[in-house]
Amino acid sequence: KVLIDVPRSDLAEELGYSQTRIRVLQDSLQHVLDRREEERQSRQALELYRQVLQNKGTSVSKVTESETVQRKEMDVVDTGTSTSGTAAETALSDHILSVLKEKPSPELCLDSQDLELVLRENTQALASALRWDTQEAEALKQACDQEIAKRQQQVQILHSLRSASKGKKSLL
């Protein structure tokens, strides 16, 4: 994680590599971290499913409440962000802008609310705020959109698992 956060120029100078090679290295490291995060989320989903099956007497609302608490805790611990932050809908906070500028895959470092704020932002305004061209800003917005879709799919999978276990419970 530290190697990903170091500016490319500093890392290239320190290691004696080209910035292109450092970019490839940082992208590879980010890919490994992303894969680990997906594996962790999959394990959480399976554990939740196992708990639902084991706790036949537990209501679905208690499981949902527990999951919400876990998600809020994960925001702070795992990503360094919190869902309690409030950013203006028309302008992105300094925190969001700094993450967008500094991280190689910023869409993975922001919580869902921040991703939605980025998507609502005008592409020209976003490009201007980040000092990027409009193509880079549009690519960023597409990456944020894909990340939100992926997160929504994970939520749908959890709901499907709950429904399947609820149906199985009613058959017993």
DSSP string, the chain: -HHHHS-HHHHHHHHT--HHHHHHHHHHHHHHHHHHHHHHHHHHHHHHHHHHHH-TTS-HHHHHHHHHHHHHHHHHHHHS--TT----SSS--HHHHHHHHH-SSGGGTS-HHHHHHHHHS-HHHHHHHHT--HHHHHHHHHHHHHHHHHHHHHHHHHHHHHHHHHHHHHH-
37 and 101 part of one domain: no
pLDDT of 161 above 60 = yes
Is residue 14 one of the residues assigned to a domain?
A: yes
Residue 145 lies in a domain: yes
Please tell me whether residues 157 and 102 are part of one structural domain: yes
Asked if the structure places residue 67 within a domain, the reply is no
Domain count, the chain: 2
Q: Is the pLDDT at 88 greater than 50, yes or no?
A: no
| 108 plus 156 within the same structural domain | yes
Q: Is residue 103 located within the same domain as residue 164?
A: yes
- 163 & 101 share domain: yes
Predicted confidence (pLDDT) per residue in 116-134, tens digit = 888 888 888 888 888 888 8
d(CA 170, CA 12): 60
Q: State the CB neighbour count (10 A cutoff) for residue 106.
A: 22
Q: Is the pLDDT of residue 90 over 60?
A: no
**Phi, psi values for residue 59, rounded to 5°:** -75, 155
Does residue 89 belong to any structural domain of this protein?
Answer: no
The stretch 29-53 carries a mean pLDDT of 86
Tokens of 153: 């799919």
72 occurs within a structural domain: no
Using a cut of 0.95, tell me whether the model's pTM lies above it.
no
Residues 105 and 162 in one domain: yes
Examine residue 71 and state whether it is found in any structural domain, yes or no: no
| Residue 24 scores a pLDDT above 50 | yes
The answer to whether residues 53 and 102 belong to one domain is: no
In a domain, 80, yes or no: no
Query: Which pLDDT does position 56 carry in this prediction?
Result: 62
Provide the residue range defining the domain that includes 127.
94-169
Task: With a cut of 60, say whether residue 87 has pLDDT above it.
Answer: no
Kindly state whether residues 162 and 99 are assigned to the same domain.
yes
In a domain, 118, yes or no: yes
Tell me which of 64-73, 117-126, 137-146, 158-167 is least confident. Answer: 64-73
Is residue 112 domain-shared with residue 158, that is, in the same domain? yes
pLDDT of residue 62: 53
The answer, yes or no, to whether residue 58 has pLDDT greater than 70, is: no
CATH number of the domain to which 131 belongs: 1.10.1490.10
